[in-house]
Amino acid sequence: MKKIGGLIAIATSTIFVQAVVGQTHALAQSQGSGAFEAYGSSFYVNEFPNVLFLLGQISDGDSLEFRKALRAHDIKILVVGSPGGSVVEGLQIAGIAHDKSIATYIPPSAMCASACSYIFFAGSRRLASGALGVHQFYDAGVGANNQVTQDQATSSTQAVAAEIIDALNEYSTPPFVYVKMFSTNDIYFFSDSEKININLESDSIASSVNLGEINSFIDNLNSLEKQHTNPASEENSVPQPSAEPTPQVSAPSDDSFTVLYDTDLFGMDLLSDGIKDISISECQSDCAASPICQSYTYLPQQHWCWPKSGVGEKMYKQDAVSAVKDAYSAQIDAPQSSFRQFSGQDISGEDIYPSGVKNLTLSECRSKCELDSNCVAFSYVIKKSWCWPKFATGNMSTVAGIISGIK
């Protein structure tokens, strides 16, 4: 643990926990508690005696830090709100919590999924007011760049799955949880009616601690996280087109085209590799001369022209220049998506599904996020048809071949 100014700051690089540090510090001081102690992904605040908060990604070493917290404080209730992380650490923390007869609680505005769910089920008493999600364990070591064989991965997966089942059996987990956990690679979030059957002696949790104050505390942290990752100006996280773009290059003056700056028209490419090493003037002339070309997108830094057979999905891409023949310009403002979409931008981390969702089109990826109340954004790997729904927007970085969308 690292002490700063009489408080203890969380030593982790995740954006959310960094936000938690600053907000918890401010809340603790404003309420006169004067103490905040971090233990890996967990932290303790004097304002809530006998309560430990476990938020953010579950990482290596968290179970050791969890033991330290229990030695330092008389913890009766563990408040969980984590997207998951290390399965091994999650199972170890769950075992410790179960052995110590600690109750577990998911606040209404929190989400506990993947490895976090093992910890929740370990509670001697448990109450899930927020989102509780489970999914099938998979071995991330299999891949083209890894030395793990399929047989080794299968053996490892079976061993871990057996350990998970043994632990959940010990925690008096309802049988229908196993069905949901081992029948899908996606995360399954339990309904309110299902959570009623999952909760265990939940009334005694409500009588032993002020859940309203805990809920307000978590709401304040969530509010700060949104401000931290999505500031009002969004200058640091989400690229924005200027009101009057200053393009690297200008399209030739031609009344037969409607020009769009800082815009990519995704899809409908006439040529799989476009046309490289030509000027924007040549790009526009080629499109004008072709009866099957309705529009184009030009990337000035690469001198790359992409003639289109139609008017693709309009999305923001800095410095890109697109133009549409006037005969088809009505399609520019046709309803396309409720998302703000960004070409060549990736949202790092914040994944709802540990391995994403493969073999989806961009439209299917967008729809999957749109229909999921826990999804606020997505990143889509074009060449691999790989969709990555997100529970938070995080930070964006420039990565070719990826499209991201934000609700």
Predicted confidence at residue 262, as pLDDT, reads 87
Rounded to 5 degrees, what angle do the CA atoms 312, 363, 269 make? 30
Residue 144 reports pLDDT greater than 70:
no
Predicted confidence at residue 132, as pLDDT, reads 93
pLDDT band (50, 70, 90) for residue 247? low
Structural domains for the chain: 2-229 (3.90.226.10), 257-331 (3.50.4.10), 340-406 (3.50.4.10)
Return the C-alpha torsion angle 365, 368, 373, 375, nearest 10: -20
Q: Which residue from 242, 307, 314, 252 is spatially nearest to 281, judged by alpha carbons?
A: 252
Question: Alpha-carbon torsion 341, 347, 349, 354, what sign?
Answer: positive
Which tokens in the block code for residue 174?
């309802």
Contacts 24+ apart (CB under 8 A), 136-143: 136/181, 136/182, 136/183, 136/184, 136/185, 137/87, 137/161, 137/164, 138/185, 138/354, 138/355, 140/354, 140/355
pLDDT band (50, 70, 90) for residue 236? very low
C-beta separation of 61 from 34 below 8 A:
no
Distance of CA 25 to the CA centre of its chain: 25
Predicted confidence at residue 299, as pLDDT, reads 92
**Where is average pLDDT lowest: 172-186, 191-205, 211-225, 253-267?**
211-225
**Where is average pLDDT lowest: 103-107, 220-224, 359-363, 365-369?**
220-224
Residue 168 reports pLDDT greater than 90:
yes
At a CB cut-off of 8 Å and minimum separation 6, what does 286 contact?
275, 278, 293, 296, 305, 307
Residue 134 reports pLDDT greater than 60:
yes
> Mean pLDDT across the stretch 259-269?
88
Q: Which residue from 241, 393, 230, 261 is spatially nearest to 324, judged by alpha carbons?
A: 261
Predicted confidence at residue 31, as pLDDT, reads 45
> Mean pLDDT across the stretch 88-105?
96
Predicted confidence at residue 65, as pLDDT, reads 94
- Looking up tokens 């002339």, which residue turns up? 285
Predicted confidence at residue 176, as pLDDT, reads 94
Q: Which residue from 207, 259, 225, 220 is spatially nearest to 76, judged by alpha carbons?
A: 207
Q: Give the model confidence (pLDDT) of 32-43 as tens digits.
A: 444 678 898 899
At a CB cut-off of 8 Å and minimum separation 6, what does 129 contact?
105, 106, 107, 108, 211, 215
More confident residue, 151 or 98: 98
Predicted confidence at residue 407, as pLDDT, reads 85
In terms of residues, how long is the chain? 407
Predicted confidence at residue 394, as pLDDT, reads 75
Predicted confidence at residue 190, as pLDDT, reads 92
C-beta separation of 385 from 358 below 8 A:
yes
Which tokens in the block code for residue 274?
């476009």
**Where is average pLDDT lowest: 220-229, 372-381, 393-402?**
220-229
pLDDT band (50, 70, 90) for residue 22? very low
pLDDT averaged over the chain? Answer: 79
pLDDT band (50, 70, 90) for residue 5? very low
Q: Give the model confidence (pLDDT) of 295-349 as tens digits.
A: 999 999 889 999 998 888 888 888 889 999 988 887 776 555 678 888 888 988 8
Q: Is 118 left (phi over 0), alpha (psi -120 to 50) or beta?
A: alpha
Predicted confidence at residue 348, as pLDDT, reads 84
Predicted confidence at residue 41, as pLDDT, reads 87
User: Can you tell me the distance from the alpha carbon of 258 to that of 279, in angstroms, rounded to the nearest whole number?
Assistant: 18
In 309-356, the DSSP E strands lie at 313-325, 340-347
Q: Give the model confidence (pLDDT) of 48-74 as tens digits.
A: 999 999 987 888 899 999 999 999 999
Which tokens in the block code for residue 195?
């959570």
Consecutive H or E run containing 181: helix 175-181
Could you give the percent of the chain with pLDDT greater than 90?
35
- Looking up tokens 């760049």, which residue turns up? 145
pLDDT band (50, 70, 90) for residue 225? low
Q: Are strands 386-390 and 357-358 parallel, antiparallel or unpaired?
A: antiparallel
pLDDT band (50, 70, 90) for residue 114? confident
Predicted confidence at residue 222, as pLDDT, reads 64
Predicted confidence at residue 285, as pLDDT, reads 93
